[in-house]
Structure 1
Amino acid sequence: MGIAIRIVGALGLHKEPFGLSGSSADLRRRVWWSLFCMDTFSCMTLGRPTFGRCRPSINVKLPSLCGNDIQEALATSPRIRHDQVAELDKKHVDWYEQLPLLLSTPQEATTAAISTIQTNIQWRYLNSRMLLYRSALLDYAMRLTPFSTLPPERRHVISQCRLIARESIVYIAENSISSLTAAWGSSWFMFQAVLVPFIYTLYKTLKDITTNQSKF
């Protein structure tokens, strides 16, 4: 860890990147702060001095966190506008597509550790997108609004939620990992994903019951 910190320091990653913007600058920030946090955590755990102590010469900014936008939107209001859902989802997809191939492409996984990291990233990526779309499904399920009467953009949001949930369920089922800690995570993400078909089926069933009762 100490060698890694010295290497990134020699590369100047502790300085705010000059002449770079977007994902290139953000990648440098992520590398620096990931190593900084890992060094601090491990040294505190072992009771040793850290190599990455904050000082005025370290002026690199914190990386952008696209997941925070989704969390903030869901915390502000459970009813997110469809255009806001599309905007946040696009940012999330763009972030994933800009990841290094080593973190996003199964063929690039040269070790079991890299494969585990890839799997965890994919789980969280799909879960975040699904939660973003699921807010619309929950809203209309509680209102028992007929699906056919929803505006086209809302039907699209619910359909996307179902597609992403299906993709998440299939990916978790087909990609097992040996780490017990990661297995706990897969159980949680599977639980979140299967709620979507469960809620949708329950919503359709209750709506049919309500419709039939109104005929009498």
Structure 2
Amino acid sequence: MKKKLIVLTGAGISAESGIKTFRDSDGLWEGHNVMDVATPEGWNKNKELVLDFYNQRRRQLHEVKPNRGHEILAELENDFDVHIITQNVDNLHEKAGSSNVLHLHGELLKVRSTKNQDCILNWAEDLNIGDLDENGNQLRPHIVWFGEEVPNLEEAIQLAQQADIFAVIGTSLQVYPAAGLMDFTNHHVPVFYIDPKPAAVPNIGKRLEIIAEPASVGMEILQKKLNQIL
């Protein structure tokens, strides 16, 4: 039976594909204050702005490609039971060929009803005012905004608890509850943390190994280390 490799990925793994992050830029995301484009309050204040912002992000997705970090994660399925928990709203893990991807913070290529959060639709083009669900309710981006519940959190916790190996790639570990997932791993499980500017990780001890590299380089290193575990 293949060992279960659970991987938490953040904005850093997609940054090398040209998708910008906001964690290092004073709360600005592509020139916008995140409170204006990533909160329910921002949506209620200016729906046109929010829709335009995510339409631009969605268009960008059609132009970017997975990088070596994404590709190695897909390749690791040959030897491990790989499950990816991602904070990213892009589809680069899927494009690279990963089979099991759980999106904690939603997906750019989906939209949902403003009145029924279980009404989720695939959506590859622009979303506009007047695009409605079957009951006549406005559709919104299928994004978990700041201040909203994380619907897939329980499933993510269960995956962390099942891990034989846990890896964290390209995240500052500042956004909760995702940042706390490694705390749910069993105490004997090795944890690998790949980030060029790794955050301090308390209470993990000797089972933590930090690889202070960008995702693509760090994944090459991790792949070799995992091959030794087989």
Bigger CA radius of gyration: 1
Higher fraction of helix: 1
TM score, norm. by length of structure 2:
0.25
TM score, norm. by length of structure 1:
0.26
